[in-house]
Structure 1
Amino acid sequence: MKGSLNKLAILLFGAMLMLAACGGTSSNAPKEEEQKPSGSNQEENQKEEPAKKYKIGVTQIVEHDSLNAAFDGFKKALEDAGLEVEYDVQNAQGDPNNNPTIATNLVNAGVDLIFANSTPSAQSVASETQDIPIVFTSVTDAVGAELVESMEKPGGNVTGTIDNHPDAIPNTMKFLKEQLNAKKVGMVFNSGEQNSRAQVDTAKKAAEELGIKVEEASVSTSAEVKQATESLLGKVDSLYIITDNTVVSALESVVDVANNNKLPLMVGEFDSVRNGGLGAYGFEYFDIGYEAGQMAVKILKDGVKPADIPAQVPQNLKLVMNKETAETIGLEIKDEWKAELE
């Protein structure tokens, strides 16, 4: 009897161990299953959202150093802001008739923003869309070109930076008169460019106040620049080339005529000084392009509307001279002229 009781006790103890083991397994299993989704959620939360890639359309009237520098500045500003950008770049190759087609192409491409590099380029895209933000640069008279309502309050979908400091042309005419003893200044420009006509009118007004005369020679293509410059020989004692895209793209022709005839050639910006102009009251086009790029960052990254971003004039106006050109025409650079081309 006692043996039977011992056997029964052993059987009961074994059964209890089996139940305990089963109970342990069933209680732990759900916990493991619950941890799996929790762990996978944490991994998903740790994954970073991919950076947004913006598509920017670019329209530029022609290839030359100043406009290219402005585009380089624009791209650098977006790069510095950490934006990932794909550019759709289209160039009119100096033919304004190509601008409407370029504008239509960029609008149909569904770009996030359009960078317009020149007055005619900006005018074409502005007339094509009122929905896509437009940031311009290398524009001389944004209000006169009807791109903005005013510099302070652009209105609409367009803003940007202009390449016309209000003191640049008056200072240049004063320099020609007081430092170079100019009496008759020749100006070659494309009369079909609204910004060029505005600059020449400003120059003529400043010249009249100083008692000097302006002789005009107009062109419609870069191929006409050399002949137009030569037509001024014997009529002028100096030359002044403003920021006219048609003429600047063929500046080498003007420099050759000026140097061969020992005529001082003042220009509108530093790249033209680097390319042989005698001097300029100007600024770096890279800088105004960079400032335009900062505006684009505000629009794309911060959601600011172009209408709420004031258009800007160049921030740093200064005189630079080309020593080599001065030597070529037999002119000594005076100490008071200060800056030489770096």
Structure 2
Amino acid sequence: MNKRLLTTITVIVAFLAVAFIVTSQPTSKKNATSYVPTVGILQLVTHPALDQIHKGVVDGLKSEGYSGKKIKIDYQNAQADQSNLKTMSQKFANENADLTIGIATPAALSLAKTADGNTPVILAGITDPAGSGLVKTTKRPGRNITGVSGDSPLQQHLNVIKQVVPKAKTLGIIYTTSDHGGEYNAKNMEKIAKNAGYNVKMYTISTTNDMQQIAETMASQVDVVYAPQDNGVASAMKTLINVTNQDKIPVIPAVDTMVKDGGIATMSVSQYNIGYQAGIMAGKVLKGKSTATYSVKTITEGDMTINLKQAKLLGLTLPKSMVHEAETKGEVFK
């Protein structure tokens, strides 16, 4: 074998060896420009408020450049079934989703448990995320979870109650026992209302199936009802209204979608905006921002929302200032 042939063979072998080493090195698919991330969105149940959050999430992701062929979104709705939450969360894990988004506290808790400190989880519409154990603090969440909290402006809600039913003395508050956010809001409103001089009666449901019976009892004992930001109550809002209407008891709910379903009025935090901000945060995390130091965003500013048709049905005349505020800055259902 002559020297030239030997040199040629040596060069070829060396080239093949280098090529093997290079192609054997793992590449970061997330850093590749052509990589399409998978985002799992888990929603607790279908009702207008959570549906608005979902829409906002998708639009928020879009604003960060994640839409169409640039993202794969796997949307799952548990329909208030705990076993579905677990199964759907595991589905995302099996698919190696790059990030998951939980709409409502039970959905977020399920995703957090499945992620086990690894895959980023974005909260969308969570009340009291620190109290529910999802983050260490809202300022520095720690590890893999952050997102958006939509805290109810409870003092403003109480002011609405005072304006709509100025002579009311007994306030009924209803919430779902399995909804941490609902219980949190209900008990905080209880304290505020008692300090304001109201006689407060608390009522609970375990599932939406309980609403008819509990609402009938409540309507016979109170002057006005407060329906907090609670997924179970929101899902059964029409049942609640059907019962309270019979006794001409006004219901002051926490969000605009519940006013649309028969509530009288509220100062409502935009559920769509909560979702939109969560979508933006998700987009930034996909681009590399650390969840551990990405502060939870809390939205508390509300807009006046009124239901004139419902007020007329119950024989209530809303203050002109409230109607004007809703017409100019908020929303009016007629």
Fold equivalence (TM over 0.5): yes
- Describe the SS at the equivalent of 1:93: coil
Equivalent of 2:140, from 141, 153, 157? 153
Q: 1:235 maps to what in 2?
A: 221
Equivalent of 1:56, from 39, 42, 51? 39
- Describe the SS at the equivalent of 1:87: strand
Tell me the distance in 2 between the aligned counterparts of 1:183 and 1:140: 28
Compute the TM-score of the two structures, normalised by the length of structure 1. Answer: 0.81
Give the superposition deviation at 1:199.
Answer: 1.0
Larger Rg: 1
Q: 2:50 maps to what in 1?
A: 67
Asked if the contact 1:177/1:183 (under 8 Å) is kept, the reply is no
Asked if the contact 1:268/1:280 (under 8 Å) is kept, the reply is yes
- Describe the SS at the equivalent of 1:74: helix
Residues 254-263 or 56-65, more deviating? 254-263
Tell me the distance in 2 between the aligned counterparts of 1:102 and 1:111: 12
Tell me the distance in 2 between the aligned counterparts of 1:109 and 1:51: 19
Equivalent of 1:300, from 246, 268, 286? 286
| Corresponding letter in the other structure for 2:229 | T
Distance change in 2, residues 1:50/1:152 (3 Å): closer
Give the superposition deviation at 1:276.
Answer: 1.6
Tell me the distance in 2 between the aligned counterparts of 1:283 and 1:51: 38
- Describe the SS at the equivalent of 2:125: strand
Asked if the contact 1:57/1:87 (under 8 Å) is kept, the reply is yes
Tell me the distance in 2 between the aligned counterparts of 1:75 and 1:275: 24
Alignment of 1:80-95 (within 5 A): 80-83=63-66, 84-95=70-81
Asked if the contact 1:71/1:117 (under 8 Å) is kept, the reply is yes
Gaps of 5+ in 2: 1-31
Q: 2:21 maps to what in 1?
A: none
Tell me the distance in 2 between the aligned counterparts of 1:242 and 1:150: 24
Give the superposition deviation at 1:75.
Answer: 0.3
Per-residue CA deviation, residues 7-37 of structure 1 (Å, 9 max, x unaligned), is: xxxxxxxxxxxxxxxxxxxxxxxxxxxxxxx
Tell me the distance in 2 between the aligned counterparts of 1:249 and 1:315: 22
- Describe the SS at the equivalent of 1:173: helix
Per-residue CA deviation, residues 228-271 of structure 1 (Å, 9 max, x unaligned), is: 11111221001111111111111111111222221111011111
Asked if the contact 1:63/1:249 (under 8 Å) is kept, the reply is yes
Distance change in 2, residues 1:257/1:195 (3 Å): same
Per-residue CA deviation, residues 297-323 of structure 1 (Å, 9 max, x unaligned), is: 11112x001112111111531222111
Give the superposition deviation at 1:180.
Answer: 1.4
User: Which 4+ runs in 1 deviate beyond 4 A?
Assistant: none
Give the superposition deviation at 1:127.
Answer: 1.5
Q: Answer yes or no: is 1:276 the counterpart of 2:262.
A: yes
Q: Answer yes or no: is 1:77 the counterpart of 2:60.
A: yes
Per-residue CA deviation, residues 171-227 of structure 1 (Å, 9 max, x unaligned), is: 212332354122111122111222121111101100111010221221111121122
Equivalent of 1:217, from 203, 206, 222? 203
Gaps of 5+ in 1: 1-48
| Corresponding letter in the other structure for 2:122 | V
Tell me the distance in 2 between the aligned counterparts of 1:225 and 1:278: 19
- Describe the SS at the equivalent of 1:306: coil
